[in-house]
Structure 1
Amino acid sequence: MATDVADETPVEKVSKRAVVAILITIFGSTAAAMMPALIALPIIMARIAPDNKETALGIATGISAFGGMILGPLFGALSDRTTSRFGMRRPGMVIGGLLAMLGLVLLGLADSLPAVFAALVVLAVGQALYGASHAAMTPDTIPEHARGRVVGFASMMGVLAALLAGIVGPQFIDNQFVLAAGGVPLYLLGLVVGMALYRDRRLDPAQVPPQSLLRTVVGGYRFNPKSAPDFSWVWISRFFITLGIAFTGVFTIYLLTDHLKVSPQELPSLISINSVLGMASGLVGTVVGSFVTDKVRSRKRLVLVAALMLAAGSAIIAFAPSVPVFFVGSALLTFANGFLIPTDGVLVMGVLPGGDGANAKYMSFFTIADGLPRSLGPMIAPAVMTLGGMTALGGYPVLYLAGGIVAIAGGLLVRRVRGVR
C-alpha cells in the first residue's frame, strides 16, 4: 500500500499564469527588438553610411550585443538581491523595458551615426536589465519536468515575433521611425499584461547578507570556472555555436543584394518570403526539439546534431547559385536554431551552480555566451569576407562556411560535460 502511495505522488504542478506571463513578455520584447535587428539597422546604415555600411552595421550590432554581455551579470546579481514588495524580477523588467522602448524611439529619430550608436546604447542597457530578470522567470517558477516545453514555447514566441517583424517591417522600408519604433506598443502591452499575471518571488531582506554596492557589483562577475566545469563547458559550447550563427545571420540583406544580385524592387518581397519560410521551419524545429529533448534526454548529442544542421544550412547558402537555393539553406538554418533552443536551454538550467538564490546571476552569464560572439562576429566578419574575396569562392561564401565550421566546434565542445547527459 505504501508503494502505491509513493507511486501516486503528484508531480509538481505548472503555473499557467507563469507560463503565459513568460510567453507574453518574450513575444512583446522580441517583436519590438527584432525589427531593428533584422531590417531597420541594415537599411539605416545603408542610408547613413553607404560607402562603409558593413563596418557600420558590424559596430552597431556589436554595441547591442556588448551591452547585454557586460551588464547582464551585474543586473542578474542585483535582481537576485532585490527585496522590493513588487517582487524580485518585476522591478528590473519594468525599468529595463521602459529604457529599451526609449532606445527604440531614439533610434527611429536618429539621423547620424553618433545618434544611432547613442540610441543603441540606451536600448542595450534597457534590454540587459530586462533580460537579466526575465531569464530567471523560468528556473524560478517552472518545475524541471516542464522546462523543456516552456523553453520550446518561448522559442516559438520568438519565431512568431521575428515573423511579424519580417512581414511588417518591409512594408515600411522607407519609414525609419516605424521600422525602429513600430514595435514599442506591443512591447508595452506585453510588459503590462505579463507583469499583472506573474506571481513573482519575494525575497525577505533578512535572507540577503549585507554588503556594499561595490561588492555586489564585483560579485556579479565573480565566477571560478573550475568550481563548475559542466557550467563552463556548456558556456563555451554556446559561445562557439552563437558565433557561427552571428557570422550567418547579420548580412542576409547584403548577401541577397551584393552576392545574388537581388534588385531593390525585389528585396522587400524576398525578405517577407524568407521570414515566412523561417517562421515555418523555426516552429517545426522548436516543436521537434522540444519533443526530442523530453524523450532522448541526451541533450549533448542533440546540441551536436543542431550544430551539424547549422553547418549544412550555411554550406547550402555559401554555394547557392540562386535565391530559391538560398531559401533552402536559410530554412535549414532556422530549423536548426529552433531545434537548438529548447535542447540547449534545458541543458543550461541543468548545470546552473549556486542554487535558487543565484538563478538570475548565472542565467545572465549566458548573455555573455550570446552577447560576446554577437559582438565579435559582425566585427570579424568584414575581415573574413576580405580574405574570402581573395579566393575563388568570394567573400560571402567563405563567411558562411566559416560560420558552419565554428558551429560544429561548439557542438563538439559540449561533449566535455560530464554531470548531465
Structure 2
Amino acid sequence: MAPKYSDDSPSPLSDPQAYELPLNQAGTIGVGAERINDAMSETADSALPKLRARYLWVIYIAQLTLYIAWIVPIAFSLAIRVDQIAPDNRDSILALAVGLPGLFVVIGTPLVGIFSDRTRSRFGRRRPWLLLGSFLGLVGSAVIALTGDVAGLIVGWCIAYTGYGIAASMINTHLGDNLPAVQRGRVMGILGATTQIAPILGVAVAGSMASSPIALFLLPATIAFVGGLFFVVIMRDPQVTTPRPALRLSKVFEGFYFNPRRYPNLAWVWISKACVFLAISMAGLYGVYLLSSRLGLTTAEVGGVVALAGLMGVGAGILGAIGSGYLSDKLKTRKPFLVFSAVAIGVSMVITGTSATLVQYIVGAVVLSLSIGVYGAVDQALALDVLPRDTDENGRFLAIIGIGSTLPQAIGPFAAGFALALGSGNYTVVYIVGAVIAVCGALFIIPITAGRRADLETHSIQVMG
C-alpha cells in the first residue's frame, strides 16, 4: 500500500526527520507509536556505517533527559507553578503559558532546520544549534523557577520550550544525517519508547518536589542540559565545506501549504489529523486541576496519579501501536483503525471529563493512551499511502502533514481555555468539546479513498480544474 519511490529518493518512512514533534504528554504517545510501529518494518541497507551501541546510548540518554525537562512541565509542573503564582486566574494563564510557546516552535522549528543546513561552523552543522537549544532550555527554566509573576513565567517557558524544541529537532536531524537504514527501525523504536517513559519518570519525581520551584524546574532542566552537553561533546558532526544551499523564501513558504483541490486525499488526512490532535491537546491541559478540585487530591497525590495513569498508558499505547500496525498491514486497510481510534479518543475524554472517582479518571487516561497508540501507528501509514505520486516532494508533503499535528496542539490550549470560559469554569465542558472535535476527526477520515477502495499504487490523485 505504500507509495512508490525512485531509487535515488529516500523513503520518508525511514527518515527520522519526518517525525513530528510532540507538544504535550499525550502527543508523546502518538509520536512514540509511530516510531515503535516503524521499528517493526523492514528497512533497506544504506551506504552509511552503523552507529556503535555506545554512541546510540548517549543519544538515548540525551533524548530521555530532554523529554523529562520538556514534557513534564506541560503535564504537571506548569499547572502547579501557575497555581502558586496566580491561583485566581490559573485556568486562563495556564492556557496562555502552554499555547504561546507552542506557536513559536511550530513556526520556528522548520526555520532552524533550514539554517542548520546552511551552517558552516568548524564545530559542525547541528552541534551549535543543539548547544543553543540546551542552553535556552536551562535559562528559560531558571526564569520560571526564580520568577514570582505571570509575565516572567510565560516568558521563561517560551524561552525554555523553544530551546527544547530546537534540541529535539537537532537530535532528529543528526539521526537523519548519520543513521543507516538498517538501524533506523530499531533505534527509532527505542526512541519512541523513551519519549513515552521520560514524562512518567519526571512526573513521579516532580510530585514530591512541588513545594520547591527551583527543584521543580531547575533540577530537570540541569539534568537535560548535562545530557545534551554530553552528547554535544562526543557528537560526530564534522564541518561542512560545501557551498551553502540557496535560501529562497518561496521554497520556505511552500513547506507550509498545498492545493487541497489538487490533492483531496491529502487534504482529508490533514484536516482529520488536525481535529484529532486538537482534541488530544485539549485533553491534556486541565488534568491536574480536575484531579485537585473534583477529587480533592493534594499536589503530591496528583503527581502520583498522573504518573500511574501515564505508566499504564504507556503499556496501552505500545499495545495499540504494535497491534494496529500489524493488523492494518495484514488486512491491508487503515481507515477502520483510524475511525475507531478517533471515536475512542472522544469516548476517553467523556470518561475523564465526567470523572467522579479515581478509578474512572485512570480508565479514561488508559483508553486515551490506547486510542492514541492505535492512531499514531496507522495515521503515519495512511499519510504515506496518500502521498502524491506525480511529484518528488515527499519531504515537503510530510512536513505539511506534520503541521497538521503540531499546529493544533499549539492552538489546543487556547481552545480549551475558550471552552472553559463558555462553560463557566466547568472542566467537563472542555472534555466534551474535545470529544466532539475528535469525532469530527473520525468523520473526516471517511472520504479518503485509500486501501481497498482505491488503486493501491496511487491514493492521492490530481483533480484538474
Separation (CA, whole Å) in 1 of partners of 2:91 and 2:281: 14
Q: Give the residue type in structure 1 aligned to 2:296.
A: V
Q: Give the residue type in structure 2 aligned to 1:249.
A: G
Q: What's 2:16 paired with?
A: none
TM-fit CA distance, 1:221: 4.6
TM-fit CA distance, 1:263: 4.0
1:75 aligns with 2:112: yes
Tell me the secondary structure at the aligned position of residue 183 of structure 1.
helix
1:26 aligns with 2:63: yes
Tell me the secondary structure at the aligned position of residue 211 of structure 2.
coil
Separation (CA, whole Å) in 1 of partners of 2:246 and 2:374: 43
Q: Give the residue type in structure 2 aligned to 1:413.
A: F
Separation (CA, whole Å) in 2 of partners of 1:231 and 1:305: 20
What is the root-mean-square deviation in Å for CA atoms of aligned residues? 3.6
Which digits, 9 at most, give the CA deviation of each residue in 1:212-233, with x for residues without a partner?
Answer: 6x66765665655567655544
Separation (CA, whole Å) in 1 of partners of 2:182 and 2:384: 12
CA, structure 1 residues 160+224, in 2 after alignment: closer, same or farther (shift >3 Å)?
same
Structure 2 unaligned regions, length at least 5: 1-41, 451-457, 461-465
- Name the % identity: 25
Tell me the secondary structure at the aligned position of residue 98 of structure 2.
helix
Q: Give the residue type in structure 2 aligned to 1:281.
A: G
Q: What's 2:31 paired with?
A: none
The structure in which a higher percent of residues are helix is 1
Separation (CA, whole Å) in 2 of partners of 1:350 and 1:140: 25
Q: When the two structures are aligned, how many residues end up with a matched partner?
A: 402
* TM-score, normalised relative to structure 1: 0.80
Which digits, 9 at most, give the CA deviation of each residue in 1:321-359, with x for residues without a partner?
Answer: 212211111122123234433443555567678869x85
Separation (CA, whole Å) in 1 of partners of 2:449 and 2:59: 29
TM-fit CA distance, 1:280: 2.7
Separation (CA, whole Å) in 1 of partners of 2:420 and 2:206: 27
* TM-score, normalised relative to structure 2: 0.74
TM-fit CA distance, 1:136: 3.7
Q: What's 1:268 paired with?
A: 300
Separation (CA, whole Å) in 1 of partners of 2:267 and 2:110: 15
- Alignment counterpart, residue 210 of structure 1, candidates 246, 265, 275: 246
1:369 aligns with 2:404: yes
Q: What's 2:283 paired with?
A: 248
Aligned residues of 2:325 and 2:374 also touching (Cα < 8 A): no
1:130 aligns with 2:167: yes
Aligned residues of 1:136 and 1:363 also touching (Cα < 8 A): no
- Alignment counterpart, residue 410 of structure 1, candidates 441, 445, 458: 441
Which digits, 9 at most, give the CA deviation of each residue in 1:378-414, with x for residues without a partner?
Answer: 222233234445xxxx832232122122123224434
Q: Give the residue type in structure 2 aligned to 1:52.
A: N
TM-fit CA distance, 1:375: 3.1
Separation (CA, whole Å) in 1 of partners of 2:260 and 2:170: 23
Separation (CA, whole Å) in 2 of partners of 1:186 and 1:105: 13
CA, structure 1 residues 417+157, in 2 after alignment: closer, same or farther (shift >3 Å)?
farther
CA, structure 1 residues 210+376, in 2 after alignment: closer, same or farther (shift >3 Å)?
closer
TM-fit CA distance, 1:20: 4.5
- Alignment counterpart, residue 317 of structure 1, candidates 328, 334, 352: 352
Aligned residues of 1:283 and 1:338 also touching (Cα < 8 A): no
Of 110-119 and 268-277, the range deviating more from structure 2:
268-277
- Alignment counterpart, residue 102 of structure 1, candidates 139, 143, 150: 139
Q: Give the residue type in structure 2 aligned to 1:159.
A: Q
Aligned residues of 1:72 and 1:364 also touching (Cα < 8 A): no
Q: What's 1:289 paired with?
A: 321
